[in-house]
Amino acid sequence: METLVWIIHIIAALGVIGLVLMQHGKGADMGAAFGSGASGSLFGSSGSANFLSRATAVFATMFFLTSLGLTYFSSHKTKPTGLMDSYKSAVQPVAPVDAAKLAPAVPVQGNAAGSKAGEIPK
pLDDT of 21? 92
Nearest to 56 by CA among 94, 93, 23: 23
The domain ranges of the chain are 45-78
Which among 18, 23, 6 has a CA at the least distance from the CA of 63? 6
User: Tens digit of pLDDT for each residue in 6-60?
Assistant: 999 999 999 999 999 988 776 655 555 555 555 445 555 555 568 888 999 999 9
Q: Render pLDDT for 52-82 as a digit per residue (tens, 0 to 9).
A: 889 999 999 999 999 999 999 988 876 666 6
